[in-house]
Chains A and B, each alone.
Chain A
Amino acid sequence: ETGVTQTPRHLVMGMTNKKSLKCEQHLGHNAMYWYKQSAKKPLELMFVYSLEERVENNSVPSRFSPECPNSSHLFLHLHTLQPEDSALYLCASSQDFTSGSNEQFFGPGTRLTVL
């Protein structure tokens, strides 16, 4: 595997379910990100991890819970979601967090549908 991978690619869940999204980066990067992408809206940054420590949490509801066990893996745990949480969830990584020319590499995303 190369680059940034995400599983599953598609997920349908009920509002009472608990599920997890997984992201893995094979680039040796130190920073990882979770984004939410809704139709015709800007990418919304949810969480940032730098060297496995959370550095940003942009007022995300507690029904989304991130976990970064090491610098290569990032999880997003989901529970009691709402239909408006249906979106494309993108994971990204970059060499460092505090660097200007900090190109982010994205995974293919998980298309989440909450019924």
Chain B
Amino acid sequence: GQNIDQPTEMTATEGAIVQINCTYQTSGFNGLFWYQQHAGEAPTFLSYNVLDGLEEKGRFSSFLSRSKGYSYLLLKELQMKDSASYLCAVIDSNYQLIWGAGTKLIIKP
């Protein structure tokens, strides 16, 4: 079966750095997304990786290793507004998005 694993919950301190990991086992691979979802709101796009390596976008970076079936989202200079759930999703060979259950990130002052 297809599977996306990510930690259920993480806690970090304002101003610090946090890394949220995602491992996947899917039938084929056409890219990996990270989305942010604040409580009660819609998921919003953060990043897309299809080639190995690091993609940097401001305070957020996303890394992909296709051979290891692994990605991480790195958040720097954490702010209170970064408290949210972070969803990892993989596009399989049928162009269907397979979603992880999300990681709830709690930021403490």
A residues apposed to B, CB below 8 Å: 4, 40-43, 45, 48, 56, 90, 97-109
Contact = CB atoms under 8 A, between A and B. Distances in A.
Interface of chain A: mostly helix, strand, loop or mixed: loop
B48 A101 contact: yes
A98 B95 contact: yes
Interface stretch (B11-19, B56-64, B68-76, B97-105): B97-105
Interface of B: 4, 8, 30-31, 33, 41-45, 48, 50, 87, 89, 91, 95-102
Nearest to A101: B48
B30 A106 contact: no
Given A40-B8, A45-B96, A56-B96, A100 B43 contact: no
A43 B91 contact: no
Given A43-B97, A103-B45, 9 more contacts: A40-B8, A43-B43, A43-B89, A43-B99, A97-B95, A100-B91, A103-B33, A108-B42, A109-B42
14 contacts: A4-B42, A40-B8, A42-B4, A42-B99, A43-B89, A56-B96, A98-B95, A101-B50, A102-B95, A103-B33, A103-B45, A106-B44, A108-B41, A108-B42
Contacts of B100: 42
Contacts of B89: 43
Contact of A100 (B4, B30, B44): B30
Contacts of B4: 42
A107 B42 contact: yes
Contact of A106 (B43, B50, B96): B43
A108 B43 CA distance: 8
